[in-house]
């Protein structure tokens, strides 16, 4: 079970910047939840706290039944995809996808089969020997997704994963990510500043402003009662 529960979560950065102001959120197992709001409203900070990449100032974060405030990112059953892909430039696609499994001391044979299976799902099996710089933006984004799915996590976190792509590819990748969510049958938490993206992708949408949650509802209800 991979529900994600945020209880009275606050984040204060140095210099007294209150980035997240007492957020309460109950993200259900297997749902596709979108966090939307203007730049600077605290979306990324929220996601990074769930990933463990940012310390929680106060409040409680549960993943499943586990209180995760003090659990290392690598020990959370989570994978994150970033806007800038964050691929290792000196490694091939294969090595990029294999890296986190290697860190976990998974046997080589198992790594190979996981990487190949994930590459197939994303249609990048022909590029396994290439370096990221020899790939298009869309291919790089697929590798970033591949690097997340090889780990078979309970929860996927995506921080503006499509904002570096051109408009046409962005629309195509939205559909691919939704398909991935359906196939993997896991919890997705997706951050975007793009309202159309939020409305077309989310089962549920969380609207943030100035570190506060303003609205949590289905796309339809948000459309009808903005
Ligand atoms: P969003 O993802 O919605 O654009 P962020 O979570 O990145 O918003 O930022 C929320 C607020 O926190 C902003 O005011 C931003 O300037 C501030 N902030 C983000 N990261 C840091 C940091 N490392 N140090 C200080 N302030 C930060
Ligand atoms: P090493 O840790 O020895 O440097 P790698 O992580 O590069 O090894 O590769 C681990 C295993 O995966 C090796 O057995 C290698 O043959 C295999 N492998 C590496 N690249 C590919 C690829 N593009 N396609 C299929 N298998 C690969």
- Ligand 1 nearest atom to the CA of residue 54, by list position: 23
Q: Look at the block and give the residue holding tokens 């290792």.
A: 88
d(CA 214, CA 195): 14
- Within the chain, which residues score under 50 in pLDDT? none
Tell me what pLDDT residue 171 has: 93
Report the sign of the C-alpha dihedral through residues 133, 73, 37, 177, in that order. Answer: positive
Mutation test of ligand 1: which of 20, 23, 45 has the most ligand atoms closer than 8 Å to its C-beta? 45
Write the pLDDT tens digit of every residue in 45-80. Answer: 999 999 999 999 999 999 999 999 999 998 899 999
Task: Report the chain's C-alpha Rg in angstroms.
Answer: 17
d(CA 178, CA 98): 24
Write the pLDDT tens digit of every residue in 156-178. Answer: 999 999 988 899 999 999 999 99
* Closest C-alpha to ligand 1, atom 20: 45
Tell me what pLDDT residue 226 has: 76
Q: How far is CA 110 from the centre of its chain?
A: 24
Tell me what pLDDT residue 225 has: 82
User: Would you say the CB of residue 93 lies under 6 angstroms from ligand 2?
Assistant: no
**pTM confidence score:** 0.91
Q: What is the DSSP string of 138-202?
A: HHHHHHHHHHHHTT--SEEEEESTTTTS-HHHHHHHHHHHHHHHHHHT-EEEEEES-HHHHHHH-
- Ligand 2 nearest atom to the CA of residue 128, by list position: 23
């Amino acid at each position: 079970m991979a529900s994600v529960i945020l209880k009275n979560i606050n984040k204060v950065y140095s210099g007294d910047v209150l980035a997240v102001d007492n957020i309460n959120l109950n993200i259900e197992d297997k749902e596709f939840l979108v966090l939307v709001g203007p730049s600077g409203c605290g979306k990324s900070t929220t996601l990074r706290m769930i990933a463990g990449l940012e310390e929680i100032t106060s409040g409680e974060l549960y993943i499943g039944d586990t209180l995760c405030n003090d659990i290392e990112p690598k020990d959370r059953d989570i994978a994150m995809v970033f806007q800038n892909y964050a691929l290792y430039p000196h490694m091939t696609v294969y090595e990029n996808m294999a890296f986190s499994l290697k860190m976990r001391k998974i046997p080589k044979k198992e790594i190979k089969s996981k990487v190949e299976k994930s590459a197939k799902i994303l249609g990048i099996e022909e590029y396994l020997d290439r370096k990221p710089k020899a790939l298009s933006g869309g291919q790089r984004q697929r590798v970033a997704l591949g690097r997340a799915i090889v780990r078979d996590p309970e929860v996927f976190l995506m921080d503006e994963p499509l904002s570096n792509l051109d408009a046409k590819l962005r629309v195509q990748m939205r559909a691919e990510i939704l398909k991935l969510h359906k196939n993997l049958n896991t919890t997705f938490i997706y951050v975007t500043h793009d309202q159309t993206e939020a409305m077309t992708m989310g089962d549920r949408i969380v609207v943030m402003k100035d570190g506060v949650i303003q609205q949590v509802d289905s796309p339809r209800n948000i459309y009808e009662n903005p």
